Amino acid sequence: MMSAGTDNEGVLRTVGGALLIAGTTSDAGKSVLVAGLCRWLVRQGVRTAPFKAQNMSNNSVVTGDGGEIGRAQAVQAAACGLEPSVRFNPVLLKPGGDRTSQVVVLGKAVGEVSALSYRERKAALMTTVMSTLDGLRQDFEAVVCEGAGSPTEINLRANDIANMGLARAADLPVLVVGDIDRGGVFAHLFGTLALLDPADQALVAGFVVNKFRGDPALLEPGLRQLRGLTGRPVLGVLPWREELWLDAEDSLSYAADGVIGRPAPPVGEQWLRVAVVRLPRISNATDVEALACEPGVSVRFVTEPSRLADADLVVLPGSKATVADLEWLRATGLADAIRRHDGPVLGVCGGFQMLGRRIEDGVESRAGVVDGLGLLDVDIRFAADKTLERPRGTAFGEPVHGYEIHHGQVVRGGGEGLVVLPDGTPEGALAGRIAGTHWHGLLENDAFRREFLRWAAGHAGRAGFRPAPDTDFAGQRAAQLDLLGDLVADHLDTDAVLALLERGAPSGLPVVPPAGAPDVT
């Protein structure tokens, strides 16, 4: 495979080129491939921006322009050397239950929808999507777009604004990525193309295979046959790299009762064992990834009470449905296990709210007043308007920053705050071995995280645990983005990618039967 050179002049001969990365399934590798392409293009001197028309995820961040977008697009922006912007993810759906989602448009929540009622809003949202994409194409030389789920959800194609609906409207060439680690990748790639109608197929220019382990020569016969069957090349085979685990696109990527990351041996004599409650409607699950980067810290998601028995630190993470997930804690016995836990407990955002004495919710669940776990002397009341902020302060004597995304507000609090704002106002709560905060990203502050781990180890009786003195979380994230850029440079036909950005999908691509879903009405 050939790669473009590193001469920064003339790499792209057009401005505003764009392509769409679609996937055979959710978690096939769309997000990481987009991030890798963004990193590689920027290295070539190409002004690049990411774009995801519609994201469905409870992992989100607050942007510099005061809105909320999917976390994956914030990571892709970092790969481009850009601050997160609402332009990179104009429509965000945040599931609050099995059948409803909050709709966020250009960073602001605009209401709740069901799966059926959302269809009625898509025409108006498509106008927003297209105008946002057009603006990015005017301001950047390349826009790398990420699809959502699979482009062949044939029951949803008529109203699609994120996959082939977007590609058709914007005349975008499409690459389809499949995860070979799941098995059946050739069937996935072929079937994805074959179920598209002819006009959609005309935009699919090639395939990418993700997470391959082994000798690539063993794959070559299949790649040749796939090209013969479809008339489209496989533009790259990206190898499996176990280092790539940070910033999962969706909380479903985290296995229940599974270890996060690749724990390194402890610096001291003991491990610190962290149990993160895997709430059904968990949000911003990535908050605990910074802990998992620390040597000697074993971080595991848990879903039943026995898993807390040998935990040193228990973390209650964020939730898109605080009251409903609190009810789940009680139904599973985890609520009692958390109250009986005699070590440190940290609650983040929704988890912080659950640790309080009382929650008054007339907004999210409309359940009225419910009892919290009573571990912090805090009362919460949900406000109609969502707090979206990027505050700064100090915690455990160290400067910290983070971001807030929540409806719940502290209306009565006792004890000291975990964080102190610049004007001296306390944020969150700290009472003995129990801590809570509304701040996401707090654990990404290296100096604070080290002090927090000392605090947790002290309350857990882990005198032999010592935090590493030099863990650089931001550096580890940047290293992963660099690795993604390297994988694109080394394993993708980047000349072909540049040609797609400049000229779009080639004409005359063959139509693969059945070329769309048969009409069975």
What is the CATH class of 268-468?
A: alpha beta
Does the pLDDT of residue 21 top 50, yes or no? yes
What is the chain's length?
A: 521
Average pLDDT for 344-370: 95
Amino acid 403: pLDDT: 96
Does the pLDDT of residue 249 top 60, yes or no? no
Amino acid 517: pLDDT: 65
Amino acid 182: pLDDT: 87
Nearest partner of 391 among 411, 413, 406, judged by Cα: 406
Amino acid 10: pLDDT: 59
Give the Cα separation of 250 and 282 in Å (integer).
Answer: 10
Burial zone of 127 (CB within 10 Å; 0-12 exposed, 13-18 middle, 19+ buried): exposed
Tokens 């789940």 correspond to 328
In the chain, where the domains are located: 20-245+478-503, 268-468
268-468 has the same fold as 20-245+478-503: yes
**Torsion angle, CA of 143/148/151/156, rounded to 10 degrees?**
-130
What is the CATH class of 20-245+478-503?
A: alpha beta
Share of the chain above pLDDT 90, in %: 80
Judging by DSSP bridges, how do beta strands 318-319 and 272-277 pair with one another? unpaired
Amino acid 319: pLDDT: 95
Amino acid 11: pLDDT: 72
Tell me which of 88-102, 282-296, 472-486 is least confident. 88-102
User: CB of 208 within 8 A of CB of 33?
Assistant: yes
Tell me which of 159-168, 250-259, 377-386, 405-414 is least confident. 250-259
Average pLDDT for 55-61: 91
User: CB of 338 within 8 A of CB of 374?
Assistant: no
pTM of the model: 0.91
Average pLDDT for 389-415: 94
Share of the chain above pLDDT 70, in %: 93
Q: Reply yes or no on whether 440 is catalytic.
A: yes
Average pLDDT, the chain: 92
Catalytic residue among 188, 438, 440, 491: 440
Band (pLDDT 50/70/90 cuts) for residue 252 is very low
Amino acid 18: pLDDT: 97
Does the pLDDT of residue 453 top 80, yes or no? yes
Catalytic residue among 349, 407, 438, 459: 349
